[in-house]
Amino acid sequence: MLNHSTLMGRLTRDPELRYTPSGTPVASFTLAVDRDFAPKDSGEKQTDFIDIVAWRQTGEFVSKYFTKGSMAVVSGRLQIHEWQDKEGNKRRSAEIVADNVYFGDSKRREGSDSSTHNSSAPRSNEGDFKGSAFSELDNGDGDLPF
């Protein structure tokens, strides 16, 4: 059986880093994930808000490098919690337990706008070489050496 989920979206808030009584770090955050389709009547894509939990080094990593609005790719497993509320009703909630969290967009340089940033391609150095980069092999009688 397989329980694996991969999601890409934006954090709706800064991650909250806490520690268990034994000192294990755990970060929690919510990821806003757009659906791939839009209903015909509205034409607007719907968004799901998915709770994520990241333990140990992954949680510390998320807490250190991600903030509200950051694009993230989360890979992990779906976990269902069941409990009873104060009125005795059975309740359920779902969350993703993150195994890995990756940056979803590139890091921009401070003070630069990616839409106006120009970078030129490296110049060719073809004229700088006098000989060929490859030379002919002399295999004597034409037989392969093995």
How do residues 63-101 score in pLDDT, each as one tens digit? Answer: 999 999 999 999 999 999 999 999 999 999 999 999 999
Question: Can you tell me the distance from the alpha carbon of 59 to that of 28, in angstroms, rounded to the nearest whole number?
Answer: 8
As beta bridge partners, residue 49 has 32
Q: In 3D, which of 124, 11, 9, 4 has the Cα closest to residue 62? A: 11
How do residues 92-134 score in pLDDT, each as one tens digit? Answer: 999 999 999 999 987 664 444 443 333 344 444 445 445 555 5
Q: What is the pTM of this model?
A: 0.68
Domains and CATH numbers, the chain: 5-105 (2.40.50.140)
Residue 15 and residue 29 in contact, taking contact as beta carbons nearer than 8 Å: yes
